[in-house]
């Protein structure tokens, strides 16, 4: 298609320690979160990840970069010790099609084992850190929980991690710039890369000191996506003198609905007892402070119509191009290991596949800042969660359960 997009893809593929969305997306979320952390929170987080780091840091440097551990959970999930975590990266709703239904979940619940999903994982790793603060766990356990939590918050804000349809989009072939990929890999790998090529040049330079109300530059590592982070913060989250696209929404991102305690219906209870349904009380993961189910249900809506799942994929000829799996399990695949191989494929006609590098799809995603909004939302929520856990709250009363998420 365009030479500039090939240059951007090549740069992403060859840059040291930088991959596609699979890693870079998680690192962007973690970087945004770190910029919003209270200094006392960042010191505590860094001491958990790297004891002594806060003492080694100079007055003008940050004690650590959370982004360095943001994709750790993906790197270890195939190791025997952590193989149990494979299902914790997603929650596969199976009754969310047709799109008009969009059930989350429906009568059949989720793919996979009960509670072993990204929503339960966010809750469980958070509770592990609460127990660490209460003296119930050692630092090693807290370090592992923190690494998982940073990653899982990012995962739950990638909409295709919330649907079991066609294995989260892995089973749907499409083309992007004339090259064959799949819908999940497009969102994991290629959309952020295509956005990088459209960045205004001024974001490639550091913010002048005093031009933003938050320190940004000390939390950047010189990654290829630094300009992307600067733009999301400046134009999206409004850290400059003007309001951003998300300024009026970002505080709402931290809110949870008041949990309801309505008993399940008799029919649902009978279905559960007879093994006909895996629907349970999904609000068991939620309270008035942390509500991964409520957040996930809202995010899942993006799968049921544009901007994630193109309606054309349900119509001939494209509805015959799906690669069906023998397993009902969601296959969590990041495309970073196949990224260079994708670039090596020459563009060629694929009339049986839907091209998504178009003004109607990728162009609209860019114009509406869909991906940027998701990563900003994930970063803000992660920051609020970590501040709620670790911020020095002298003068504030109450335990974690009554302490609201805090954004500084």
Active-site residue (options: 68, 77, 221, 322): 77
Q: What is the DSSP letter of 57?
A: -
Active-site residue (options: 155, 177, 226, 357): 155
Average pLDDT, stretch 171-193?
89
Average pLDDT, stretch 296-306?
90
> 3-402, which class in CATH?
mainly alpha
Largest Cα separation within the chain, whole Å, is 65
- The residues, any chain, with a CB within 8 Å of residue 155's CB and separated by 6 or more, are 89, 90, 118, 161
Is 96 considered catalytic here? no
- The residues, any chain, with a CB within 8 Å of residue 141's CB and separated by 6 or more, are 128, 132
Average pLDDT, stretch 145-167?
95
- Token pair for 113: 């084992």
Is 188 considered catalytic here? yes
Higher pLDDT, 271 or 46: 46
Each residue of 228-275: pLDDT tens digit?
999 999 999 999 999 999 999 998 999 998 755 555 444 344 444 444
Is 77 considered catalytic here? yes
Active-site residue (options: 38, 157, 161, 219): 161
Please give the Cα distance from 246 to 223 (Å, whole number): 24
Burial of 260 (0-12, 13-18, 19+ CB in 10 A): exposed
Residue spans per domain, the chain: 3-402
**Residue 343 pLDDT:** 59
| pLDDT for residue 226 is more than 80 | yes
Please give the Cα distance from 339 to 333 (Å, whole number): 12
Is 335 considered catalytic here? no
- Token pair for 339: 């990224």
Helices (H), ranges, 15-159: 26-35, 39-49, 53-56, 72-76, 118-133, 139-155
Please give the Cα distance from 230 to 196 (Å, whole number): 12
Q: What is the DSSP letter of 405?
A: P
Each residue of 51-90: pLDDT tens digit?
988 778 777 789 999 999 999 999 999 999 999 999 999 9
DSSP string, 197-213: TT--GGGGSPPPTTSSS
Of 335, 370, 325, which Cα lies nearest the Cα of 181?
335
Of 275, 309, 298, which Cα lies nearest the Cα of 108?
275
Active-site residue (options: 95, 115, 177, 188): 188
Question: Rounded to the nearest 5 degrees, what angle is found at the Cα of 346, between the Cα atoms of 340 and 349?
Answer: 130
Is 161 considered catalytic here? yes
Helices (H), ranges, 50-196: 53-56, 72-76, 118-133, 139-155, 183-185, 191-196
- Token pair 């803000």 is found at 380
Please give the Cα distance from 158 to 184 (Å, whole number): 10
Please give the Cα distance from 405 to 330 (Å, whole number): 31
Is 155 considered catalytic here? yes
Active-site residue (options: 184, 230, 231, 334): 184
Handedness of CA 147, 90, 404, 218 (dihedral sign): positive
Please give the Cα distance from 75 to 210 (Å, whole number): 38
Q: At what angle do helices 370-390 and 139-155 cross, to 10 degrees?
A: 160
Asked if 172 contacts 313 with a C-beta cutoff of 8 angstroms, the reply is: yes
**Residue 399 pLDDT:** 39
Is 151 considered catalytic here? yes
- The residues, any chain, with a CB within 8 Å of residue 357's CB and separated by 6 or more, are 1, 5, 175, 176, 177, 178, 194
Average pLDDT, stretch 210-218?
94
Is 89 considered catalytic here? yes
Could you tell me how many residues make up the chain? 408
Asked if 69 contacts 150 with a C-beta cutoff of 8 angstroms, the reply is: yes
């Amino acid at each position: 298609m365009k030479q500039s997009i090939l240059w951007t893809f090549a740069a992403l593929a060859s840059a040291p320690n930088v991959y596609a969305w699979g890693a870079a997306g998680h690192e962007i979320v973690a970087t945004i979160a770190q910029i919003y952390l209270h200094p006392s929170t960042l010191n505590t987080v860094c001491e958990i990840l790297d004891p002594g780091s806060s003492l080694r840091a100079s007055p003008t440097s940050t004690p650590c970069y959370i982004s360095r551990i943001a994709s750790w959970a993906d790197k270890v999930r195939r190791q025997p010790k952590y193989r149990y975590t494979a299902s914790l990266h997603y929650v596969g709703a199976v009754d969310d099609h047709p799109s008009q239904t969009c059930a989350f979940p429906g009568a059949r619940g989720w793919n996979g084992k009960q509670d072993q999903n990204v929503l339960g994982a966010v809750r469980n790793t958070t509770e592990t850190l609460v127990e660490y603060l209460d003296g119930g766990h050692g630092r090693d356990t807290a370090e592992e929980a923190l690494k998982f939590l940073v990653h899982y918050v990012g995962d739950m804000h990638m909409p295709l991690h919330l649907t079991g349809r066609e294995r989260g989009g892995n089973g749907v072939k499409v083309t992007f710039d004339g090259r064959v990929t799949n819908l999940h890999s497009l969102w994991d790998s290629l959309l952020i890369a295509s956005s990088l090529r459209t960045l205004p040049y001024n974001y490639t330079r550091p913010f002048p000191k005093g031009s933003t109300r938050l320190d940004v530059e000390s939390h950047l590592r010189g990654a290829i996506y630094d300009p992307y982070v600067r733009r999301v913060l400046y134009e999206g989250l409004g850290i400059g003198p003007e309001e951003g696209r998300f300024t009026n929404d970002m505080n709402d991102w931290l809110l949870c609905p008041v949990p309801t305690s309505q008993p399940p219906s008799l029919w649902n209870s009978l279905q559960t007892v007879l093994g006909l349904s895996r629907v349970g009380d999904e609000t068991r993961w939620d309270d008035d402070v942390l509500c991964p189910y409520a957040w996930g249900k809202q995010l899942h809506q993006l799968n049921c119509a544009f901007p994630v799942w193109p309606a054309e994929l349900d119509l001939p000829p494209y509805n015959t191009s799906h690669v069906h799996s023998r397993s009902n399990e969601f296959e969590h695949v990041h495309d970073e290991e196949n990224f260079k191989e994708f670039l090596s494929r020459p563009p060629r006609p694929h009339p049986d596949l839907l091209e998504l590098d178009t003004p109607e799809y990728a162009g609209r995603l860019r114009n509406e800042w869909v991906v940027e909004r998701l990563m900003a939302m994930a970063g803000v929520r992660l920051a609020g969660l970590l501040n709620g856990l670790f911020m020095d709250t002298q003068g504030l009363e109450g335990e974690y359960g009554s302490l609201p998420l805090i954004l500084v």
